[in-house]
Structure 1
Amino acid sequence: MYVAAYDYPPYFSTGLETDVTRELIQILNDYQDTYDFQLQVIPPNARYQALSKDGCCDVIFFESEEWGWKGKAVDATIPIIRGRERFIAKRIPGRTQAFFSSLDDKTVGAVKGYHYNFDGNERTADELGSSYRAYLSHSALTNLRMLMGGRIDIMPINDELLSALQNAGDQYEKDLLVSDQIFDDYMLSMIVGHNKRLTRETMQQLVRELARQGHIDKLLQRFNLSRFQVYRIGLRR
């Protein structure tokens, strides 16, 4: 059973020692022996092909249906996480929240294959260049280092990554100016391809069973993500 994963920290990143997806795969394999879940790393813009009928993978964890999946042959489980996205910049003397009021003359760091909703218009990273001065990389962590090094001026980041970095005692927090304004929020589920060895109903049942055993709560607590959790055993559908 192949789990597609692309760079989207804290859910998955080869730049991290561990992440939510790798931990959840281990929990699933320890919990049951019907399915052997294995990680398959893919580029972000390959995820639609990966879950297609002839694709390499069966499921992708912590993904929003709004990110290009409409019309695709997939099903989503119940939402598990409600995430949010906002801008950050490097903290320097005299820089205030007013810095985020306009993107004019600013280089925006984005990730290839991601979807963004800066101004109410959902668009891919590749489409940003038509409206903004954009620098595209393959990793949010790369962009974070570019931001701190002064190579880009501003970048979108999800609140979950900010929270996980804070939990890890990362020093980025004191060096970042974080926008007060959220420009996007989204629900993250498990998305399962049609005609696969795994069905949405089976994946959903596994999530429910892990929740009953307390595994989901403990996993999200470990990464400081509990405040984003929308699926708990008392709230299950």
Structure 2
Amino acid sequence: MGALLLSFAGLLCAAEVVKVGGAHFPPYVVKSNLQESSGLLPQLLEALNQQQSEYHFTMLPTAIVRRFGDLQRGRIDMAIFENPQWGWQGIDAEAVDMGLEDAELFVARSEALRDQHFFDELAGKRLALYRGYHYGFAQFNSDPEFLTTTFNANLGHSHDSNLLMVLRGRADIALVTRSNLYDFLERNREYARQLLISERIDQVYRHHAMIRSGAPISAERFAALLEQLRANGELARIFSPYRIAVTSAAADSSAAEYAAD
């Protein structure tokens, strides 16, 4: 028994540790502290660790607004479920197409005579948005002052709270990721008929991993590990229940450098 424990410890010592930033954002990360964290990111890291022994992926708590600096300083090696347009310009990192797609939807309270045309025009409507997020309708400008003054937006730290603001009449429209919306409805089925969900999509998230220059793992190697999880069905097992589409990663852009122009 002692020999087995020593052998396991030796494998961990031999493995390169890859620090992955985890910011609270359900269902991707639910509570980013290491003792209580859950969600899709911990599941993905567990699957990556189980399939190989060359690297040991571990989640390190960060915040949505702090993750850029954490990666630049080397506090984390990788940020996952990203988009190169979300403020990564000018940061020395490589983008890996993960072959995972989510989307941002508009959600309003269902009312008599209210239909999809309610989402045609945002002017004059009270918006509930997630602080630090980049929205397509705002040209991906996440500056809080810009969003609050230009779009009459309330900026929060919880999609659930934003949806409840809509249900209680404190906001007209909330923007919510598809994965979080259907996770919310699964947990709160009584609200399903009370929400009007847009056919209009603010943006489709083609998820990427952003890997810093000098990280223990290369973009090419991480892309190969993801491809193994795609082939054996692990990505579908983890992400499909949350309506996150598992697609083929773009072969010609699986590792594309995203640095300053």
Residue 30 of structure 1 is matched in structure 2 by 50
TM superposition shift of 1:154: 0.9
Residue 171 of structure 2 is matched in structure 1 by 152
- Greater shift, 27-36 or 42-51, is seen at 27-36
TM superposition shift of 1:56: 1.4
Residue 95 of structure 1 is matched in structure 2 by 114
Question: Quick check: which has more Rg, 1 or 2?
Answer: 2
Aligned pairs (5 A) from 1:144-183 = 144-165=163-184, 170-183=189-202
Residue 126 of structure 2 is matched in structure 1 by 107
On the 8 A contact 2:81/2:208 being kept in 1, the answer is yes
Match of 2:155 among 136, 140, 162: 136
In the alignment, is residue 61 of structure 1 matched against residue 80 of structure 2?
yes
**How big is the alpha-carbon RMSD for the aligned residues of Structure 1 and Structure 2?**
2.7
Q: Partner amino acid for 2:23? A: Y
Q: Cα–Cα, structure 1 residues 139 and 55, in superposed 2: closer, same or farther, change >3 Å?
A: farther
Deviation per residue, 1:8-58 (Å, 9 max, x gap): 333223399842112111112222233222222222111111211x23111
On the 8 A contact 2:159/2:180 being kept in 1, the answer is no
* 3-state secondary structure, aligned to 1:145: helix
On the 8 A contact 1:7/1:139 being kept in 2, the answer is no
Residue 48 of structure 1 is matched in structure 2 by 68
* 3-state secondary structure, aligned to 1:50: helix
In the alignment, is residue 85 of structure 1 matched against residue 115 of structure 2?
no
Residue 23 of structure 2 is matched in structure 1 by 6
Q: 2: distance between equivalents of 1:223 and 1:104?
A: 31
Residue 19 of structure 1 is matched in structure 2 by 39
- Greater shift, 6-15 or 73-82, is seen at 6-15
Give ranges in structure 1 of 5+ residues lacking alignment.
none
Q: 1: distance between equivalents of 2:189 and 2:127?
A: 23
Residue 9 of structure 2 is matched in structure 1 by none
- Greater shift, 22-31 or 169-178, is seen at 169-178
Residue 247 of structure 2 is matched in structure 1 by 230
Corresponding pairs, count: 232
On the 8 A contact 2:135/2:202 being kept in 1, the answer is no
* 3-state secondary structure, aligned to 2:230: helix
Q: Partner amino acid for 2:42? A: R
TM superposition shift of 1:99: 2.1
Using the size of structure 1 for normalisation, the TM-score is: 0.85
Q: 2: distance between equivalents of 1:169 and 1:136?
A: 23
TM superposition shift of 1:168: 5.9
Deviation per residue, 1:102-160 (Å, 9 max, x gap): 223322111111101116x2211512123111111112222122222322221112223
Q: Partner amino acid for 2:47? A: I
- Greater shift, 141-150 or 22-31, is seen at 141-150
Q: Partner amino acid for 1:14? A: K
Using the size of structure 2 for normalisation, the TM-score is: 0.78
TM superposition shift of 1:67: 0.9
Q: Partner amino acid for 2:246? A: Q
